Structure formats: structure tokens, C-alpha cells
């Protein structure tokens, strides 16, 4: 069934990606590569698709389910998507042609949009209070080709845990990981996303004895190894997931990417819609409240698309 779904999803993406990348033709069919259905990327992307379709003449935008960051960049580079959500660390690897990427990827950024929070979730009844306790446990690192998996592997290594040898590794989507935690078939899982993430809200509601780990102990090692793209963020568990307490975790910015060949006018129109429809996007997901013109330009080391840069210049 997974193979059939993957084939169908690929067909949907290919069909949805029209002339938008090059900005030609009589209309634009824009495919937005997002993430899993219970993650923020998908919800945010659906809201953005609606606003782009309503705001840009002769444009029909659709949001597609993907494994998120790594896959999204590959779809953009391969001409199978026109807009893609990504974590900044994965995007940095892409433009530098390192780690997951064997060559520099032809992408540009239109905006930094909000920060992702690393969620390290421990299933009910499992004895683990820090990442080092995951040795010998069944742990999902997130789906293959996801930004979650990039961060999960780096966090485990920073904690002295070999993700390929010290754990029973699984690669589950957020939906699959939540269900596996409910069923007791995994001990813990990683998810890197905005607040709140619907799948984790669902788990916390049905299994209030689940735990989320404080991971501030691995941040210094991650920063010294990979740079200041990783930051410390707080999750107010009570406000976001109706659990007890506050934890500190590893954060990473999110960027909205497009192919570098996209026309300047289309990139400008997308950027303008993103910021001018902030209220409508916030009604879809609260992370859109963090859209700010000044912050939006902070996409280094990915280069801003010239069309997006023109919008920022106009805004002063």
C-alpha cells in the first residue's frame, strides 16, 4: 500500500507542476511541496495554495503531501514542484552540495517564515529522561528524505548515540509515529515542526502520560559542529500540548524555496501574497503570525530569488 501511495503521490506532484517554475504559458499551475498531513507544513501550505490561487491571476496552486525538507528540495530541483517548505539546515546542505546532497541544488529562497521546534517524544511507560537513554530502544527518526531525520541523527550523535548501531531505527511519518507510540510498537520518536503539531496534540490528548524530552544538553555540541543555525527554543507544554511544564529544545528556521529558474515576476507575486495575506494564513495556522518582512529576508546561506528581493526592497 505504501508503494501504491508513493506512486500516486508522485503522479499528483508531476501533474500539478505546470508552467509555474518557468513563469511561461497562459496560466500557472503551482505545486507546493509540504510534509505529512498532521504537520504544520501541510496545513500552512494548504492555506498558502488557497491564497495564491485567489490572488495571482490565472493561477491554480495545490499543496502536496511529501516527506518534507529533503524530498521537497529534490522535487524543486527536478522540476516536479514549484514551491517547497524546508528547514534551513537542509537548505544549507542543498546549496552547498553536502551530506544528503551530492551536488549543489538549483534553488533560491523567497522567505524565512517561522522556526521549527525539535520534539523528542517518549511513549507512555518508557524509561528515558535524556537522549543518551535511547541506547537499545526502538526509535523513529522521521521519514526518509525529511529534515526531521537530518536533525534527529545529529542530535543523537551529539548525545553519544550512534543512530545506525545503538538503537532499533525506524523511519516513520508523523502520522505513523503517533500511532506506533499509541500501540507501544516504538519507544520514542523525533519530530521537527512548528507549534502546535496536530499529530502530537492528538497523542498528548489520548496518552497524557507521554513525555517530551528537554534536549538543551546537546545544543552546544550541535552548534560547535554545525554552526549557529541551531538555536535554543522553549516549548510551553501546557500552552501548546496541554501537558505539564516547559522544556528547552533545539530549534531551526524554516524557509520557503523555489527553483532558481522561476521567473522574477512569479517569485515577486508569491512573496507579495505570502506577506499581504498574513491574516488569512494565520487563521489557517498560528505559525503564520511570525511572518515579518525584516525576518523574511534572513535566508543565508541560500540566496534570495531576485523576484523576492524586489518585494523586500519595495517594502524598505
**Residue extents of the structural domains in the chain:** 2-114+255-314, 117-252
By the 10 Å C-beta count (0-12 exposed, 13-18 middle, 19+ buried), 116 is classed as buried
User: CA 171, 175, 177, 179 torsion: positive or negative?
Assistant: negative
pLDDT at 10: 41
Q: Do domains 2-114+255-314 and 117-252 have the same CATH topology?
A: yes
CB 56 within 8 A of CB 271: no
277 C-beta neighbours (distance < 10 Å), count: 21
Burial of 296 per CB tally in 10 Å (0-12, 13-18, 19+): buried
Report the pLDDT value the prediction gives residue 46, as an integer from 0 to 100.
98
What residues contact residue 114 under an 8 Å CB cut-off, 6+ apart? 194, 253, 254, 287, 288, 290, 291
pTM for the full model?
Answer: 0.86
**Which pLDDT belongs to residue 57?**
96
Q: How would you write the pLDDT of the chain (316 residues) with one tens digit per residue?
A: 444 334 334 444 444 454 454 344 457 899 999 999 999 999 999 999 999 999 999 999 999 999 999 999 999 999 999 999 999 999 999 999 999 999 999 999 999 999 999 999 999 999 999 999 999 999 999 999 999 999 999 999 999 999 999 999 999 999 999 999 999 999 999 999 999 999 999 999 999 999 999 999 999 999 999 888 899 999 999 999 999 999 999 999 999 999 999 999 999 999 999 999 999 999 999 999 999 999 999 999 999 999 999 999 999 8
The per-residue pLDDT for 1 is 40
Domain 117-252 indexed as CATH 3.30.559.10: no
Architecture of domain 2-114+255-314: 3-Layer(aba) Sandwich (3.40)
Query: Which pLDDT score, from 0 to 100, does residue 26 have?
Result: 53
pLDDT at 316: 82
Using CA atoms, how far residue 72 sits from 63, 100, 115, 147, in Å, is 12, 13, 18, 10
Amino acid at each position: 500500500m505504501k508503494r501504491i501511495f508513493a506512486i500516486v503521490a508522485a503522479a499528483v506532484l508531476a501533474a500539478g507542476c505546470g508552467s509555474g517554475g518557468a513563469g511561461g504559458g497562459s496560466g500557472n499551475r503551482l505545486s507546493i511541496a509540504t510534509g505529512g498531513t498532521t504537520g504544520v507544513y501541510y496545513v500552512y501550505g494548504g492555506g498558502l495554495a488557497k491564497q495564491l490561487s485567489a490572488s495571482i491571476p490565472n493561477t491554480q496552486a495545490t499543496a502536496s503531501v511529501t516527506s518534507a525538507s529533503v524530498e521537497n528540495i529534490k522535487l524543486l530541483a527536478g522540476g516536479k514542484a514549484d514551491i517547497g517548505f524546508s528547514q534551513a539546515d537542509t537548505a544549507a546542505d542543498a546549496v552547498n552540495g553536502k551530506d544528503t546532497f551530492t551536488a549543489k541544488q538549483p534553488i533560491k529562497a523567497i522567505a524565512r517564515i517561522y522556526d521549527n521546534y525539535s520534539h523528542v517524544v517518549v511513549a507512555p511507560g518508557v524509561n528515558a529522561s535524556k537522549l543518551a537513554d535511547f541506547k537499545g530502544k526502538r526509535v523513529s527518526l522521521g521519514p526518509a528524505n525529511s529534515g526531521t531525520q537530518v536533525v534527529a541523527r545529529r542530535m543523537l550523535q551529539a548525545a553519544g548515540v550512534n543512530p545506525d548501531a545503538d538503537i532499533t531505527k525506524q523511519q516513520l511519518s508523523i502520522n505513523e509515529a503517533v500511532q506506533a507510540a499509541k500501540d507501544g510498537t516504538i519507544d520514542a520518536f523525533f519530530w521537527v515542526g512548528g507549534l502546535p503539531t496536530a499529530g502530537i496534540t492528538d497523542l498528548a490528548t489520548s496518552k497524557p502520560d507521554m513525555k517530551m524530552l528537554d534536549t538543551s544538553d546537546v545544543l552546544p555540541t550541535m552548534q560547535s559542529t554545525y554552526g549557529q543555525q541551531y538555536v535554543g527554543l522553549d516549548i510551553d507544554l501546557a500552552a501548546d500540548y496541554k501537558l505539564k511544564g516547559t522544556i528547552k529544545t533545539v530549534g531551526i528556521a524554516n524557509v520557503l524555496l523555489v527553483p532558481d529558474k522561476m521567473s522574477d515576476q512569479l517569485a515577486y507575486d508569491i512573496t507579495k501574497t505570502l506577506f499581504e495575506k498574513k491574516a488569512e494564513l494565520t487563521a489557517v495556522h498560528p505559525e503564520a503570525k511570525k511572518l515579518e518582512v525584516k525576518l523574511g529576508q534572513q535566508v543565508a546561506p541560500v540566496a534570495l530569488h531576485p523576484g523576492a528581493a524586489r518585494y523586500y526592497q519595495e517594502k524598505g
